[in-house]
Amino acid sequence: MAYAYLFKYIIIGDTGVGKSCLLLQFTDKRFQPVHDLTIGVEFGARMITIDGKQIKLQIWDTAGQESFRSITRSYYRGAAGALLVYDITRRDTFNHLTTWLEDARQHSNSNMVIMLIGNKSDLESRREVKKEEGEAFAREHGLIFMETSAKTASNVEEAFINTAKEIYEKIQEGVFDINNEANGIKIGPQHAASNATLTGNQGGQQAGGGCC
Amino acid sequence: MVGPDDAGRDGSRSLSGGSGQEELMTNGDAGFLLQPEEPPAWAVRTEPGPQEEEMRLPNGGFPHFLPDPQPEPGDGAGRASPPAGAALEEPLRSCCLGPDPEGGAAVGSPPPPRSGAGTESPSEAAAGVRTPRDCSDGAAAAGTLCPAPLGFIDINLNSRNTYEVNRRRSAPEHLPHGGTPATAPAPPQEPTDKTKRIAIPGSSSGIADFITRNFFTKRTKELKPGLHSAPGWKLFGKVPPRENFQKDSKIIQQEYEARTGRTCKPAPQATRRKTFEFEPLSTTALILEDRPSNLPAKSIEEALRHRQEYDEMVAEAKKREIKEAHKRKRIMKERFKQEENIASAMVIWINEILPNWEGMRTTRRVRELWWQGLPPSVRGKVWSLAIGNELNITHELYEIFLSRAKERWKSFSETNSENDIEGVSVADREASLELIKLDISRTFPSFYIFQKGGPYHDLLHSVLGAYTCYRPDVGYVQGMSFIAAVLILNLEEADAFIAFANLLNKPCQLAFFRVDHSMMLKYFAAFEVFFEENLPKLFLHFKSYSLTPDIYLIDWIFTLYSKSLPLDLACRVWDVFCRDGEEFLFRTGLGILRLYEDILLQMDFIHIAQFLTKLPEDITSEKLFSCIAAIQMQNSNKKWAQVSENNNVTKSC
């Protein structure tokens, strides 16, 4: 249970792109071809290690339907990372990225790290969105990008962990104020030690932090 | 017998997961005993003596197997007790018949004995007899054991389990080893076996032994060395049928042993085999009974201790089984009682209540009966009546909207939809028609009936499509598919649609499915008032984590608990929801929180959130309904309607 940091993630994107399956693959390492649809929000959690530090990911998996946007919006608050997912076999899910991104930018902390994910990369034969298009979109909007397959687990681990690395780097750079939980970062119960090292690294930038 | 050390090395493993070796060894349900010169099965496998290999490989196991059974009895007769052999023939034959085809198929190199395939008939015993001889000749030449008997035994034992047989086929070179395990006749569980074995070892060796080997069934021999040199494997499982079988085989084996190496082996096997094929369960394990010969034998004390430990384990398992049996019986009894109650309630509903619906629905007696749960046979009918049809929807109207939906779908598929959808104004949510398809198969996926090709797939599609055309201002919203599905399971198509449309027209449902955020917040606020009133400790606990009710209530209310509770339980919630209205939905939510209050108080944010969005599956209606009953929907003398009114929620439509 001891962790240095807790990061809140939110998974967003159109309905049926595989958000819940990505989460299940990441937390349980299994794939469920037919998944219950998500109403409202579901949750997952997993511990990862970055730079020798235990980091707990608290993941909010949201409903994708347009109608639920107004509900989803309230869940951006306090997220340090977002996985914005589209389905490479359905172009419309790619076309909707802009509105998702607007939503995300508008309702989240400006430092929130956004990872763009083109899911279902195992379905190459049904691909409608080229990988280059995803890369271009990500470049244009300053996102990290990966194509994943929740089915084969390809890149799933990497997507979640690379996002965490990015957040971690931002903490190291002092971009995130880890004392403000609205940033989606919480210092773990054993923060005393880890925070000490962190402040050491940071030249005391975040000294005094952690006692929250 | 299960020495801790043994367990540590090879111990008990599940059959299915085991490696080939283990599988083979499984065969001896009793400890199998190797011939003295034979290394333990695993040793053999890895480093088989060249001679042995030669001998065994040709044997391939199966071909010999057939003829062997016959000769064996004969041999045995010559040696020890002839009459027994005759007695055993029947079982033998059956045994032979079973494995034979496999053997034939499996083995490429049919040695002479193979011809004996027809040997089933006792008259052919002669041929059978010849076989061992051939073997012995071969053995003599090779200066080793006669492979035939080995093969024979091997097969029989293995044949118990198809899996093993198959394995062997694919890896015939393992057969010889398999043969070794075959020696397992002695049922390990019987202390008597133990003692026998102990007694026997001394006797095995020398020329006599050699001869015996050739003519006798392995069994005798196997028994002897078993104690120190050979590892004994046994199946350990808590599957009652298997146990019985083991007992049978044990008895038979004992008899057999008593007769000095009579070939009774096959008989039990043949029978067993049928049952065993399907038996290996998760509780099955392999137990290494004796140490492999390359290790010092257990001391007697140690062996005794292991025996004792093993007996204790068995006794423990038996106790558990008896307990479980009692439990099952109790559950069955309860279920039976429930069925009876349902049956008698059904009569009352059909004969008394339904004919006088308006007059009786609000009577105390009916309300009480209603709380107990509606009998499934009248459930749909009562729901329909209780929900009503203030929208005055007719079956014809349903057909009209259904055909409109079908037209839309058709045009979608023709025009590749995308542009169409973009063109549609936001207010017209008929566009959500397209989404329905995605969600149908994600509705109760575990039931399969709503999957593509399932019996209810099209029905669900139709009801949702018709509704979307009927209420384009609401459209299809996720969560609806669960409600429609539950209705379809209880009502005819058009009636399900009517109930569906009227149900969604209720203020609470309308607020949620239009995702009217401010109204939803008011409902949540009213819920929190009663939450604090009923479960103050838990309320504070949630507050301390800023865990708001929307996190779990959205799912519960949108699907009317049909996604989060087991279906039968959800139906019971629906029963009372039809009686009491929206208040009961929130009361149920509080009942769930109350049911799990103690657990939830120990959890932090993420665990609570995960727990409530994925409730335990073993939740029972009895417990839940007693918790719901304990929830008071009174707040300083105000009822739900008043509280929600204060919050401006109740805006009847």
What is the average pLDDT across B537-564? 96
Strand-strand pairing, A113-119 and B233-236: unpaired
Least CB–CB distance from A34: residue in B441, B606, B609: B441
* B12: pLDDT strictly greater than 70: no
Instruction: Kindly indicate the confidence band of residue B258, based on its pLDDT and cuts at 50, 70 and 90.
Output: low
Nearest C-alpha in B relative to A32:
B445
Which pLDDT does position B647 carry in this prediction? 63
What is the average pLDDT across A40-44? 96
Nearest C-alpha in A relative to B421:
A92
**Domain assignment of residue A63, given as a range:** 5-190
Chain A interface includes B644 (CB < 8 A): no
Which pLDDT does position B391 carry in this prediction? 97
Q: Decide if A36 and B563 are in contact by the 8 Å CB cutoff.
A: yes
* B59: pLDDT strictly greater than 60: no
Is residue B449 within 8 A of residue B456, CB to CB? The reply is yes
Q: Which of B581, B425, B437, B423 is nearest to B509 (CA)?
A: B581
* B555: pLDDT strictly greater than 80: yes
Which pLDDT does position B235 carry in this prediction? 58
Highest mean pLDDT (candidates B2-6, B31-35, B454-458, B548-552): B548-552
Residue A166 phi, psi dihedral angles, 5° rounding: -60, -45
Instruction: Kindly indicate the confidence band of residue A190, based on its pLDDT and cuts at 50, 70 and 90.
Output: low
Instruction: Kindly indicate the confidence band of residue B411, based on its pLDDT and cuts at 50, 70 and 90.
Output: confident
Which pLDDT does position B259 carry in this prediction? 56
Structural domain includes residue A202: no
Beta strands, E only, B131-203: none
Residues sharing a CB contact under 8 Å with residue B587, sequence separation 6 or more, in sequence order: B530, B580, B628, B631, B633, B640
Lowest mean pLDDT among B171-175, B288-292, B293-297, B406-410: B171-175
Model pLDDT for residues A106-117, shown as the tens digit of each residue: 999 889 999 999
Which pLDDT does position B291 carry in this prediction? 73
Structural domain includes residue A203: no
Instruction: Kindly indicate the confidence band of residue B293, based on its pLDDT and cuts at 50, 70 and 90.
Output: confident
Report the 3 state secondary structure along B80-121: CCHHHHHHHHHHHHHHHHCHHHHHHHHCCCCCHHHHHHHHHC
State how far the Cα of A97 lies from the Cα of B262, in Å rounded to an integer.
79
Lowest mean pLDDT among B237-246, B449-458, B609-618: B237-246
Model pLDDT for residues B319-372, shown as the tens digit of each residue: 999 999 999 999 999 889 988 888 899 999 999 999 999 999 999 999 999 999
Highest mean pLDDT (candidates A170-179, B79-88, B530-539): B530-539
Please report residues of B whose CB lies closer than 8 A to that of A67. 432, 475, 477-478, 513, 515
Model pLDDT for residues B207-255, shown as the tens digit of each residue: 444 444 444 444 444 444 444 444 555 555 544 444 444 445 555 556 5
User: How many domains in chain A?
Assistant: 1
Chain B interface includes A179 (CB < 8 A): no
Structural domain includes residue A210: no
* B130: pLDDT strictly greater than 70: no
B/e letters for B393-402, b = 16+ CB within 10 Å, e = fewer, are beeebbeebb
Instruction: Kindly indicate the confidence band of residue A85, based on its pLDDT and cuts at 50, 70 and 90.
Output: very high
Please report residues of B whose CB lies closer than 8 A to that of A58. 605-606
What is the average pLDDT across B473-496? 95
Helix extents (H) in B349-448: 357-360, 364-371, 376-387, 395-415, 418-423, 433-440
Structural domain includes residue A206: no
Residues sharing a CB contact under 8 Å with residue B330, sequence separation 6 or more, in sequence order: none
Q: Which of B71, B251, B99 is nearest to B162 (CA)?
A: B99
Two tokens, residue B362: 């609000």
Q: Which of residues 361-400 of B touch A (CB under 8 A)?
A: none
Which pLDDT does position B256 carry in this prediction? 54
Which pLDDT does position A178 carry in this prediction? 77
Please report residues of A whose CB lies closer than 8 A to that of B481. 37
What is the average pLDDT across B527-552? 96
Structural domain includes residue A199: no
Q: What is the DSSP letter of B615?
A: -
* B140: pLDDT strictly greater than 90: no
Least CB–CB distance from A71: residue in B418, B515, B563: B515
Residue B637: CA count within 13 A, CB half-sphere: 0
Domain containing A84 — which CATH number? Answer: 3.40.50.300
Which pLDDT does position B385 carry in this prediction? 96
- Name the more confident of B246 and B497: B497
Q: Decide if A36 and B555 are in contact by the 8 Å CB cutoff.
A: no
Which pLDDT does position B234 carry in this prediction? 59
* B477: pLDDT strictly greater than 80: yes
* A90: pLDDT strictly greater than 70: yes
Lowest mean pLDDT among A171-185, B84-98, B583-597: B84-98
* A71: pLDDT strictly greater than 60: yes
Residue A108: CA count within 13 A, CB half-sphere: 27
Average pLDDT, chain B: 69
Which pLDDT does position B254 carry in this prediction? 61
Placement of tokens 């930018």 in the chain: A105
* A61: pLDDT strictly greater than 50: yes
What is the average pLDDT across B462-473? 94
Chain B interface includes A153 (CB < 8 A): no
Q: Decide if A35 and B445 are in contact by the 8 Å CB cutoff.
A: yes
